[in-house]
């Protein structure tokens, strides 16, 4: 026991003696002793030892005096018990805050993982859309090539017919020229239509 504890022990004995002399009315002295003990870092066991030492010194005469001494001891340790309760509550609050922080951290990581998965899924969808668009462009391009090939074949056939019509006379030649012009016009419209579907620039 250090010097401060010995001083507190003597103060405890004096305060208990005064308490018993005042018919057991615990005053502010008991509470002040308790706060001094808290500031010194003493525990309930330390105060219990001081109380036992004081009882041995005072040699209480009867059960009533013993009960009064017990009430005094309870008043002394009340601030210490309140401090212990505050510490306990503080620990519970700290535990709760840590649990909430851990939960928030888990939710943050979960949200981050979900965001990464969504971005990955979006990239996959984008690639699929682009691939589908490219496939569609290739399909339309092939159709356009077929259309042009068929048109050229038709024009060649008409040109052959023009050659034959030239031998027959001008009336037949004019009719073949008209049909050929219609074929060329229709083919040009088809080419422009496919160009629009492919997203290609059009020339007027």
Neighbours of 192 (CB within 10 A): 14
Q: Using the 8-state DSSP alphabet, how is residue 62 labeled?
A: S
How confident is the model at residue 167, as a pLDDT? 64
Q: How far is CA 104 from CA 18, 93, 113, 117, in A?
A: 57, 16, 14, 20
Q: What is the pLDDT of residues 39-83, one digit of tens each?
A: 888 888 888 898 888 888 988 888 888 888 888 888 888 887 777
Q: Identify whether the C-beta of residue 54 lies closer than 8 Å to the C-beta of residue 12.
A: yes
Q: How many CA atoms lie within 13 A of 178 on its CB side?
A: 6
* Residue 191, Cβ density class (10 Å: 0-12 exposed, 13-18 middle, ≥19 buried): middle
Q: How far is CA 167 from CA 30, 34, 158, 176, in A?
A: 139, 134, 14, 12
Tell me the C-alpha distance between 12 and 33, whole Å.
7
Taking the whole predicted model, whether its pTM rises above 0.85 is answered as no
Q: How far apart are the first and last CA of the chain?
A: 108
pLDDT along the chain (204 residues), means of 10: 81 84 66 84 86 88 86 86 67 74 75 80 81 77 72 73 66 72 76 69 56
């Amino acid at each position: 026991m250090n010097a401060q504890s010995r001083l507190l022990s003597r103060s405890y004995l004096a305060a208990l003696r005064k308490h018993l002399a005042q018919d057991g009315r615990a005053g502010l002295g008991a509470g002040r002793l308790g706060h001094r003990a808290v500031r010194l870092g003493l525990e309930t066991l330390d105060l219990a030892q001081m109380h036992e030492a004081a009882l041995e010194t005072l040699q209480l005469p009867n059960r009533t005096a013993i009960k009064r001494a017990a009430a005094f001891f309870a008043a002394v340790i009340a601030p210490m018990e309140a401090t212990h309760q505050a510490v306990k509550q503080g620990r519970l609050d700290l535990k709760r805050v840590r649990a909430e922080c851990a939960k928030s951290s888990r939710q943050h990581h979960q949200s981050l993982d979900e965001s990464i998965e969504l971005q990955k899924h979006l990239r996959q969808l984008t690639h699929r859309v682009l691939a589908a668009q490219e496939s569609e462009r290739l399909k339309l391009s092939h159709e356009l090539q077929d259309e042009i090939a068929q048109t050229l074949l038709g024009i060649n056939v008409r040109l052959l017919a023009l050659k034959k019509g030239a031998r027959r006379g001008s009336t037949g030649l004019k009719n073949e020229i008209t049909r050929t012009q219609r074929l060329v016009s229709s083919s040009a419209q088809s080419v422009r239509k496919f160009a629009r579907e492919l997203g290609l620039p059009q020339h007027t």
